[in-house]
Chain A
Amino acid sequence: MEIDKKEYGKYVKKVTPAHELWKDMLRAFVTGGTICTTGQVLLNLFLAYGMERDAAAAWTTLCLIAGSVILTGFNIYPKIVEWGGAGALVPITGFANSVVAPAIEYRAEGQVFGVGVKIFTIAGPVILFGIFTSWALGLASWIGQTMGWL
């Protein structure tokens, strides 16, 4: 029995259920919003205790990362992502999760070849292309300034 691959692909798409976009977006909004509000509350607290703005921002970031790391260790963060999707993945807490998860998983393969080599398997591309993009923008900015356009 010959089956056309294109026809099959179309039929597969038809019978495969898809996620509901609006529900997912709402959940992501609520989750992401909650994480960002927590950050804002922390920042205000640090400022209220007389911290410099820069220092307060740094401490806020640290607290969010620490929170994510602890929740990852207790296997709670994956459940938050499962519900909230990108709302939990995009903030810095998601980035922390993507670094800590491989560290825990690959610990059994040793400190160097396990943790050392594989800790950035998920976050690696973000770091690489993040740095590359900032370098490219920096170059553009420098050219713009030397040419007197900016």
Chain B
Amino acid sequence: MSFERFRNRNRKDADLAEELESHLAHSQDMREARGVSPDEAYRQARVKLGNARTVRENVWRYRSIGWIEDVLRDMRFAVRSLGKTPGFTLIALAVIAVGIGVNTAVFSVINTVLLKPLHYPDPQSLVQVQNVGPHGRDGGANVPKLNIWRRQTGVFQDVAAYDFGGAGMNLTGGNQPQQVQAVHVTANYFAVFGAPVALGRTFTQQEDSPHGGDVVVLSYGLWKSHFGGNPQTVGRTIQLDNRPYLVVGVLGQQFVTEKSFGAEQQADLWTPFQFDMNSQDMAHYFTAIARLKPGVTVAQAEAQMKLAADEYRRTYGANSIGPQSSFGVENLQEWMIGSNRKPLLILMTAVGFVLLIGCANVMNLLLARASARKRELATRAALGAGRAQIIRQLLVESVMLSLTGGILGLILGYLGVRALLALSPGDLPRLGENGAAVTLDLHVLAFTFIVSVLTGILCGLIPAIGSARSNLLTAINEGSQRSGLSFRRGKLRSSLVIGEMALALILVIGATLLIRTFSKVAGVDPGFETHNVVSMAMSVSGDRFQKTSGIAQVVRDGTDRLKNLPGVIDAGNGNGLPMVGGFGMTFDIVGRPKGKDPFTGGAGYLSVGGDYFQTLKVPLIRGRYFNEHDDGAAPGVVIINEAFAKQYWPHGDPLKDRMQIGVGAGPVFAEPARQVIGIIGDTHQFSLDQPAPPIMYTPLAQLPDAETALNSRVAPLLWIVRTQSDPHAMVNSITSALRDASGGLPVAHIRTMEEVEGLNMARQRFNMTLLIIFGAAGLLMAAIGVYGVMAYSVQQRTQELGVRMALGAQAANLRNMVIGQGMILALAGVILGVGGAFWLTRFLAGFLFGVKTWDPTTFIATPLLLAIVALLATWIPARRATRVDPMTALRLE
């Protein structure tokens, strides 16, 4: 097939015109030569050829692709026709742009978080190795488990271990030490992730063995920012925690460690774990990923891991993992997305509703417009336009509207997604630094395009078919004034309004439930006083913090120096904070029978120093707080919270008992039993919407050395300071006091406890804010919809209203009649919406706190709100109905 046919159409047409002229001349010549008179010859020649114009048109059409030609013509026509009604066009464009804009914004986040594959080679074969228990799955691992997992060579190519760099390290040697995110990894970590190496190499097996030397691999970012991208950095030593580390390599820029791996930020550098592979340490302090063998499915690997769990139980004893527990694997991407899928899909549904409401409005506008254009369309039909042609032309109009709206929506979405990310609590995985990973890629563009076209067809099809069906003769004969709301179309418009009211009500009910949740959460007493308390993290990964005495000294000195600062009321520290989380540990209550169980129970477990409780103002219920005499030389003590006391001493007195902490947790936690010396108030350790857990507290100064070493490796030392006034003003003096006390260590993550609480509630605030925005948008559009239908119906019924007035109807009667009709629509929408909400709010259940999914307050208040809005929206057209002048109305006839 040659494209010659479609090229140079205009030139070829001119050529043909001349050619036809020439033909006629020759034809005429021939006839004259036969003796026909010139006039007759002229006539005959033309009769023989036929209409030259038709010939040219035929060739022109042959040179065009028919439907493109037609659509282009329809588009030109649509532009003209839409231009004639700028008011309608602008409103429809705005509604579509907003609807598509919010959809584009939410979809581009979903695209990044849920849909885009991970940035590693063959990401589908990467799996997170897990413990599977009756309470869910977690990724904790220890060396004995790693050994067993690595033996599953039938399903795994390799298993690598890494931690979250929780404690961080201090990059020293410069003027100012800098805290960096240091991740411990096994030597094969880089190979399993398929990490590109920009310079040098990664770790050898030798370097990842005990006493393998201090070596480090740098991230591209740190290498650029701190070492100026100097290639000579590889082979040099850098100072980490005042120890020399040999830089063996730099990773490629593309390699990202995802935030959701538990770290607060991207890894800056990697050091080898140097595991003793004979370790019997049962505590979980790292996590593992595996690469599946080619062709092995997650299900196959999962089945194999069940056998591995049995093997583990045989090797390490019946209590090494719980009787119903096992091992398993999960696709790495699925694991990272985790619980983020559902809220994102709920958001997508919400914006889908907003778009549907918008569509209903645009469809209503198009129906009204089609009525007003009935004569025009009938005239076109009379001039020979087929039904299909009229439908096509109207569809082209609505699709052009929606595509233009879509382009505007794309711009709105691009801006909107930045707003969305600014609102987001920052704990969505995979978004990159400040959401850099969220881009308008081809998927988003395709999504927006398809949604735009579908919107155009959805909005335009029914009005178009309706218009094309109309009766030619009556339409032309009728005045355009009276050609309005036919019964069927009136019903259609009313059902659209009912539908959008119902959708808006569902959105508003969802938003209200989240508002109520937020206020309930905000009303929860966290168990401590957040005001004027600042917290910060100090990495204690250096050598001198491997023994408890080293930590105890920093804890004591730092607390003393802080308390001596003017304006400081109290100071303390710990390896966990309320609202931030902490660790868990098993324990026995000495002398209490525990039956077949390996230990009495498990609870939250924090080690604290200084005046931790006083600083946070956690109330003392009984006994005493820790003091400076509870050090390594003194007898072991433990403080529990009220929840702990209630659960384990429902009748007895905890202060008379002793506890053995770390039962079955391995030699690291081996220590003598501790006396319970105090009961303090409950604090919400994880978040306000979860009940306060039972927690036991020990003094940092009393931990076994091995446990201190483990703590220093996995968690930073968190400092808290209560000040008399705004702590922000004191950050400099606090950090310099801590630097003096610690021999120059920096602190990071400086946040007031109010900010910590705010971050903790950020998720609820995010969900609530977005649903409020979408609910308000939906409500506004629905109100516009009701207004539009009622205003239109009043306008169409001017005559009827005039007659009624002439027959003596009172203005109030007419007004009430119109309002009543509007409110019937609203009522139907409310009934439908309440029903839909009853069914749909169950999907919100997991995000609610302190309110039921069928919360009566919400289900009464929101329909009332909707009714008021609908009343306002019908009020204006109702007023207009009363102002109809009977004479003018009748004269319209």
A binds B: no
